[in-house]
Amino acid sequence: MESKYKAFEESIKNDVTDEEAWIIFYKLSSEASGAETKSNVHAKEEFAKFNFSEDDIKELTKQIERYRSYWLEHHLGNRGR
C-alpha cells in the first residue's frame, strides 16, 4: 500500500489528468479496503485504541481534507468503478 500512497502524494504535487487521478485513487482505495477486509478490522474500535492527541486528530483531519479536495478536483465521484 505504501507505493500506492506515494503515487497519490506525487499526483498531488504534479498536474495529472482526471483519468490518471481516478486510476491512482482507485488503486489506493482498493488496496486500503482490501487490507481492512483481510484483517477484519472494525475501524471505529481500532481508531479509539490509538488514543490520538489533539494534534494527531488535526493532522488526520488535514489528510482527509486533502483526499476530499483531490476527489472533488478530479471529479472522481462522477466516474464508474
Residue-wise pLDDT tens digits, 30-77: 777 665 555 556 777 777 888 999 999 999 999 989 889 988 999 888
pTM assigned to the model = 0.58
Cell for 75?
471529479
| CA pair distance 4, 37, nearest whole angstrom | 18
Q: Are 8 and 24 in contact (CB under 8 A)?
A: yes
Cell for 13?
504535487
Count the alpha carbons within 13 Å of 31 in the hemisphere toward its beta carbon: 12
